[in-house]
Structure 1
Amino acid sequence: MGGAYLIMFVIMGVSMYVQWRLKSKFEEYSQVGLSNGMSGKEIAEAMLRANNIFDVRVLSVEGRLTDHYNPQDKTVNLSSDVYYGRSVAAAAVAAHECGHAVQHATAYAWLGFRSQMVPFLSVASRYMQWIILAGVLLINTTAIPLTIGVALFAVTTLFSFITLPVEYDASNRALAWIQKNRVVNEREYIMSADALKWAARTYLVAAIGSLATLLYYVSLLLGRRD
């Protein structure tokens, strides 16, 4: 058990570091004006048009780092700093979210898998932690609640790993497009790639952390059965 706690502690520390680096990188690159003067909204709309996507809206949403693509209503949602921003960070994020729209339009398999899991996970997430807590408290009486909780957590872990190719592919599409269409110069491209690299690492750390937690719960189950 001590080893499991140590691993989880290390992963938590790495996660905090990656989150800090991500925020610092975006703050840094938000101060670097884009040479072509385009806003995140303009870049997003241009990338959508270039990929013959005309049924996706680009919207402004509140918050920071709240940018996302919603396949349900086909909207690219950009935080105000990205939507109105004319910086390297805004260009990278706007193009990345449009990368998801391109995935959707081209029926990218991994995005389809992830989207199919969302309805189940939205329901399961409401009860999973309570089921796991009940399972831990009742572990010496019955293994049923913890077994159910572990099964639900396994699905969330799978979701985390399916998210990885989706995010990395969206970044690759974004970087290829902004470079090919000269949305950024060479210096700005390097910054954009760096920003998206750190963003992707947050998903990687989250997936590893989810797997470590899952293995911990599995060890509880196996220990109970022994």
Structure 2
Amino acid sequence: MAASGYVNSTFKKYDRYRAQSGITGTDAAQYILQQSGITNVTVQPTKGNLTDNYNGSNKTLNLSEATYQSSSVAAIGVAAHECGHAVQDATNYFPMRLRTAIVPIANFGSTLSLPIIIIGVIFGMNQTLIHIGILLFSLALLFQLVTLPVEFNASHRALKILSGGGLLTASEVPMVRKVLSAAAMTYVAAALATFLQLLRLILLFGGNRDDN
């Protein structure tokens, strides 16, 4: 919650600064894709606030209402970050490929882990079932850990393109860096929260218990 609040407050702060170039988030995205030689990605609006995302399955870069037609420094930074994911996809960036491959496995593990642990507890602290449940939950942590380099790399690519492409001035680039750093903290917080949940499960159920 703290990380989410921080990224929202940081975005709102720099959303008040209009880029001197006058370009919008859409303009920035289309420019970056063109400069990167990516012609098969469509930039389109999507509902919501800060719901920006890149969908590699249908090659769409979806910009939220706060980004699509906004010429703020924050909006341009967010659009550039999503373009970073499109560049990762186009260049077969390995961590991104790995994350995509892990998604169905992580979802499967997250869905079944707690029910299996509960069944293990019901059947007299059956350690085999409990350990299987904990192992399945750990897949969610693996996904979070793989996500970190993907997100940090996308932000790095965005800052590099914005700095060298003349889309932002030298004084505007640090503003974007703060917005993207705040956004990255949400992924760090998610990974930490998942780790603590896993640790809690291990401490509660992971040990061999003898109640006799």
Common fold, TM-score beyond 0.5? yes
1:223 maps to which of 176, 200, 207: 207
**Corresponding position: 1:28 with 2:13:** yes
Taking structure 1 as reference, are residues 62 and 133 closer, same or farther at Cα in structure 2, changes over 3 Å only?
farther
Q: Could you tell me whether the CA contact under 8 Å between 1:111 and 1:166 is conserved in 2?
A: yes
Give the whole-Å Cα distance in 2 for the aligned partners of 1:179 and 1:50.
Answer: 14
Give the whole-Å Cα distance in 2 for the aligned partners of 1:75 and 1:27.
Answer: 25
1:82 maps to which of 62, 67, 76: 67
Give the whole-Å Cα distance in 1 for the aligned partners of 2:173 and 2:95.
Answer: 26
Give 1:71 deviation, angstroms.
1.0
Taking structure 1 as reference, are residues 222 and 61 closer, same or farther at Cα in structure 2, changes over 3 Å only?
same
Taking structure 1 as reference, are residues 130 and 141 closer, same or farther at Cα in structure 2, changes over 3 Å only?
closer
User: Which residue number corresponds to residue 57 of structure 2?
Assistant: 72
1:105 maps to which of 68, 73, 90: 90
User: Which residue number corresponds to residue 195 of structure 2?
Assistant: 211
Give the whole-Å Cα distance in 1 for the aligned partners of 2:199 and 2:111.
Answer: 21
User: Which residue number corresponds to residue 96 of structure 1?
Assistant: 81
Give 1:221 deviation, angstroms.
3.1
User: Which residue number corresponds to residue 184 of structure 2?
Assistant: 200
> How high is the TM-score relative to the length of structure 2?
0.92
Q: Map 1:37-48 to 2 at 5 A.
A: 37-48=22-33
Write the deviation string for residues 176-214 of structure 1: whole angstroms up to 9, x where unpaired.
000101111122111100000010011011111111211
Give the whole-Å Cα distance in 2 for the aligned partners of 1:90 and 1:139.
Answer: 53
Number of residue pairs the alignment of both structures matches: 210
Give the whole-Å Cα distance in 2 for the aligned partners of 1:65 and 1:139.
Answer: 45
User: Which residue number corresponds to residue 169 of structure 1?
Assistant: 153
- For 2:5, the aligned partner's letter is W
Give 1:129 deviation, angstroms.
3.7
Taking structure 1 as reference, are residues 139 and 201 closer, same or farther at Cα in structure 2, changes over 3 Å only?
farther
Give the whole-Å Cα distance in 1 for the aligned partners of 2:117 and 2:19.
Answer: 48
Give 1:133 deviation, angstroms.
4.1
Give the whole-Å Cα distance in 2 for the aligned partners of 1:148 and 1:222.
Answer: 10
- For 1:62, the aligned partner's letter is K
SS in 2 for 1:72: coil
Percent of paired sites with the same residue: 38
Taking structure 1 as reference, are residues 41 and 143 closer, same or farther at Cα in structure 2, changes over 3 Å only?
same
Write the deviation string for residues 55-101 of structure 1: whole angstroms up to 9, x where unpaired.
01111111111111111111111101101111011100000000000
Q: Could you tell me whether the CA contact under 8 Å between 1:139 and 1:146 is conserved in 2?
A: no
For structure 2, list consecutive stretches of 5 or more residues without a partner in the other structure: none
Structure (1/2) with the larger helix percentage: 1
Give the whole-Å Cα distance in 1 for the aligned partners of 2:44 and 2:129.
Answer: 42
1:128 maps to which of 83, 108, 113: 113
Q: Could you tell me whether the CA contact under 8 Å between 1:139 and 1:224 is conserved in 2?
A: no
Tell me the C-alpha RMSD between the 2 structures: 1.6
